[in-house]
Amino acid sequence: MPTRIVQIFALLMVLFIAPPLANAKDEKGLLTVQVAGVADADMAQVAKVLAARVDGLRSGWFGSTSTRVDGHAITVFASGWQPDRALAEAAAVSGRELRFMLEQPPMFKQPPSILLTEADVADAISLPGSEPGFSLRLRFNESGVEKLKARSKSIVGQMMVCYWNGQAIVKARVAGDLAVRTIEVAPISKRDATLIAAVLSAGPLPRGTTLTLVK
């Protein structure tokens, strides 16, 4: 009798465990990214950031995101939820350069100065805006807060432009004291707010990382 139980258990193991393990390499996944510019030892960190970027697009509580590393290729899997594929692909390979620039009046003939960068952001979330469009709420770390405190009064009246990967997304005049911990960038599109929040919150990639989407 004990032998029979062992045989049945072994059969169940083959039926329910073996096929997924055997087919794991064949599973297509949501997207695959080719990674260059980093050592093998950094691939786990790149995979962690990619999973966090895609998972940051998830709006509900359910589902999960995982990755598989094959050499210098990383495949991202979404389980229990289905992200917009185009948005997930864009988030996966996006740059992560955020700049808050202060534009000087033309009479001064000076280039814009950098007030804040992505290194000053602790986390970010996208929210429906009070007017048509969405807003991007940025919470700054201590470095960002100190920079704002140091210049909050001297920049009142100046034009501040928010750039994402070199493209201006919002431009506004500083109307009051900016000695704050959070700023809402608005109005911007839902797509841009969602993507930027996910990429910023996922953290930086190892220095020198280059990502290419595998079609």
Predicted model pTM: 0.84
- Residue 14: the pLDDT is 36
User: Out of 9-18, 97-106, 148-157, 165-174, which region has the weakest mean confidence (pLDDT)?
Assistant: 9-18
DSSP annotation of 65 reads: E
pLDDT above 70 as % of the chain: 85
- Residue 10: the pLDDT is 42
Selected residue with higher pLDDT from 110 and 196:
196
DSSP strands (E only) in the chain: 31-36, 64-70, 73-79, 98-103, 113-117, 121-128, 134-140, 159-164, 167-173, 182-188, 210-214
User: Out of 49-63, 126-140, 182-196, which region has the weakest mean confidence (pLDDT)?
Assistant: 126-140
- Residue 108: the pLDDT is 67
User: What whole-number distance in Å separates Cα of residue 144 and Cα of residue 166?
Assistant: 20
Average pLDDT, the chain: 87
Pairing of strands 159-164, 167-173: antiparallel
- Residue 85: the pLDDT is 96
State mean pLDDT over 180-197: 93
- Residue 9: the pLDDT is 42
Convert the pLDDT of each residue in 130-180 to its tens digit. 667 899 999 999 999 999 999 888 888 889 999 999 999 999 998 887 878
Residue type, 20: P
pLDDT > 50? residue 196: yes
- Residue 16: the pLDDT is 39
- Residue 27: the pLDDT is 65
pLDDT > 80? residue 4: no
Selected residue with higher pLDDT from 63 and 179:
63
